Amino acid sequence: MALLLFVSAFFATQNNFAKAPFGHDESSTPTSGASLDQADSQTSRAVTGVVLDPSGAAVPGAQVTLTGTDGVVRGTALTDSTGSFRFEKLGTGLYSLDVQAAGFRETKVDVTVGKKQVTPLHINLPIASQNEVVTVGAQDSAARISTDVAENQNANTIDRNALDRVPVFDQDYITTLSRFLDDNAIGTNGVTLVVNGVEANGPGVTPSAIQEVKINQNPYSALYSRPGRARLEVITKGGTPPDFHGTVNFLYRNAVFDARNTFAEQKPPEQRQFYEGSLTGPLGAGKKTTFLLSLDQDFDDTQAFVNAQGVNGPIRENVPAPIHHFFGSGRVFHDFASGDQFWIGYSYEHQSFKNQNVGGTTLPEAGYNTTFFEHEINVSYRHLFSPKWVNQLRLLVGHYDTPTRSVNATPQIIVSGSFTGGGAQADARRTEYHLDGTDIATYSRGKHTVNFGVDIPDISRRGMDDFTNTLGTYTFRSLARFEARIPSAFVLQRGQGRVVF
């Protein structure tokens, strides 16, 4: 009897010790009158479940958040590949489950945790509805059809990003974009080029300094001297405070991989070098004054091939015929506190052509050289009289000189089918001084805009000095006639060869 009582007491002690949590002091007693059985129920309950879509398939990666009645988040879990989730060691009470998943509507479920284990939950998520709202307003220019002729459907604007992506030979944007103009609208003077609102002979800057080009915008505007669809409008870059921005382009070609010309005795050492760039930024410590500098240099070292028949036999040789070009432009911009802006710019261009017209049956002695110089000064001033009145003044003053000189100052000799020698007899000179300008006032009120002013398309003085053939040209029918000094024709120019317009 004593042995049985001892064994019973031993197992009773072991059971009480097993019910106590890890590290529990046997001498302590539960507070608030709770028994050990109640403490066990507060730490052994769990909430489990699975998240499903409307078809009953599992939804993996759904976010499940468990929140108590006091609003405190008790746990967050993501469903596994089977859509299951689990929260453990929960006390008795009322909880809320918030389930969110991409493509499904947010779903909330209330869960009561009591003394018994909670039955696993099955939560079905409904599909989320998709809404797309399109708002069309009066300020949406993309959705508005305008009756303004400046926004006609044939107008095109090529901005800087588009110019960088277009493959243009030698970066000659003007020639390339001229292909898109209407051939029927181009007059005897060719394409009309408008730079910053003023008609000009060239863009006035290097290709990388062009901001955008407009084609066929407002073709019948009275702001320009000639209406029609044969006008390119070029907008150049301005200053860029407070940082410096620059672009550099270069090109190099060499004839090392070229095939030999059939008519050349030996392969000519031709090559091409092209350098172009622009730089903008602040000028001085302040941010009101900026500058734009653009330069390009082009060395095109080509050669001509002579294949003629002389008195002493065939004449074959390579003759250098280089074409060199330089262009430099600088502009300074200043912004006033009143909103006015003033800028002034200067550009210089120089181009030379050596041994022109040489090749074939024309000997090097019958070639000529041409040089081109041009200076331009641009001035622009924008004045704000009021928020509704703006005046824009632009002026361009330029001068160019193009002399042509023969390599030899001797009469020209032409032997039909054999050779052309002597002098080129191509001496001439062209000069021009010109002034272009506009002064346009703009009044804006509400949806209405009125432009009026003065346009000076071209005030110029052009001169032409013609000295061609002043020493005469002798023509012979054959080499035999040439050796016998019997010409078939002789042409000589006399009189005044100067014209000023």
pLDDT tens digit sequence for 240-257: 777 888 999 999 999 888
pLDDT band at 188 (very low <50, low <70, confident <90, very high): low
Q: For the full predicted model, state whether its pTM sits above 0.85.
A: no
Q: What is the mean pLDDT of residues 133-143?
A: 59
| Structure tokens, 55 | 């078809």
Contacting residues for 325 by C-beta, under 8 A, at least 6 apart? 296, 297, 298, 300, 349, 350, 351, 352
Q: Residue 187 and residue 216: Cα distance in Å, rounded?
A: 15
Contacting residues for 134 by C-beta, under 8 A, at least 6 apart? none
Q: What is the pLDDT of residue 35?
A: 38
Q: What is the pLDDT of residue 457?
A: 78
Q: What is the mean pLDDT of residues 66-88?
A: 90
Residue ranges in 87-190 assigned as alpha helix (H): 160-165, 173-178
Q: What is the pLDDT of residue 242?
A: 79
Q: Residue 209 and residue 195: Cα distance in Å, rounded?
A: 12
Q: What is the pLDDT of residue 150?
A: 64
425-471 pLDDT tens trace: 999 999 999 998 899 999 998 888 898 999 887 899 999 999 999 99
Q: What is the pLDDT of residue 364?
A: 95
How far the first Cα of the chain sits from its last, in Å, is 146
Q: How far is CA 464 from CA 69, 160, 498, in A?
A: 99, 39, 6
C-alpha 44 chain-centroid distance: 68
- Phi, psi for residue 80 in degrees, rounded to 5: -85, -165
Q: Identify the helix (H) or strand (E) that includes residue 400.
A: strand 389-406
Q: Residue 304 and residue 291: Cα distance in Å, rounded?
A: 42
How would you classify the pairing of strands 73-78 and 192-195?
unpaired
Q: What is the pLDDT of residue 44?
A: 59
Q: What is the mean pLDDT of residues 468-483?
A: 95
Q: Residue 143 and residue 136: Cα distance in Å, rounded?
A: 7
The domains of the chain are located at 37-127, 141-234, 241-500
* Percent of the chain scoring above 90 in pLDDT: 47
The CATH architecture assigned to 37-127 reads: Sandwich (2.60)
Q: Which of 299, 292, 375 is nearest to 331 (CA)?
A: 292
Q: What is the pLDDT of residue 43?
A: 52
Residue 162 neighbours by CB distance under 10 Å: 12
- Is residue 287 within 8 Å of 264, Cβ to Cβ? no
Q: What is the pLDDT of residue 474?
A: 97
Q: Residue 194 and residue 192: Cα distance in Å, rounded?
A: 7
| Structure tokens, 154 | 């044939």
Residue 128 neighbours by CB distance under 10 Å: 12
Q: What is the pLDDT of residue 34?
A: 37
Q: What is the mean pLDDT of residues 212-231?
A: 78
Residue 61 reports pLDDT greater than 80: yes
| Structure tokens, 21 | 């949590």
Which one has a higher pLDDT value, 27 or 140? 140
Q: Residue 120 and residue 84: Cα distance in Å, rounded?
A: 10
| Structure tokens, 303 | 């050669």
Which one has a higher pLDDT value, 451 or 43? 451
pLDDT band at 321 (very low <50, low <70, confident <90, very high): very high
Q: Residue 498 and residue 168: Cα distance in Å, rounded?
A: 40
* Percent of the chain scoring above 70 in pLDDT: 86
Residue 170 neighbours by CB distance under 10 Å: 14
Q: Which of 25-29, 122-126, 213-217, 326-330 has the highest mean predicted lDDT (pLDDT)? A: 326-330
Residue listed under structure tokens 């041994």? 355
pLDDT band at 4 (very low <50, low <70, confident <90, very high): very low
Residue 187 reports pLDDT greater than 90: no
Q: How far is CA 494 from CA 237, 288, 423, 499, in A?
A: 50, 60, 17, 14
Residue 381 reports pLDDT greater than 70: yes
276-315 pLDDT tens trace: 999 999 988 778 899 999 999 999 999 999 999 999 999 9
Q: What is the pLDDT of residue 178?
A: 81
Residue listed under structure tokens 């120019």? 493
Residue listed under structure tokens 């006033």? 336
Least confident of 85-89, 221-225, 336-340: 221-225
Q: What is the mean pLDDT of residues 108-137?
A: 82
Residue 28 reports pLDDT greater than 50: no
Residue listed under structure tokens 């200076």? 375
Q: What is the pLDDT of residue 136?
A: 64
pLDDT band at 31 (very low <50, low <70, confident <90, very high): very low
Beta bridge partners of 280: 245, 292
Q: What is the mean pLDDT of residues 386-409?
A: 94
Residue 97 reports pLDDT greater than 50: yes
Q: Residue 480 and residue 478: Cα distance in Å, rounded?
A: 5
Q: What is the mean pLDDT of residues 150-158?
A: 71
Beta bridge partners of 474: 413, 490
Q: What is the pLDDT of residue 267?
A: 85
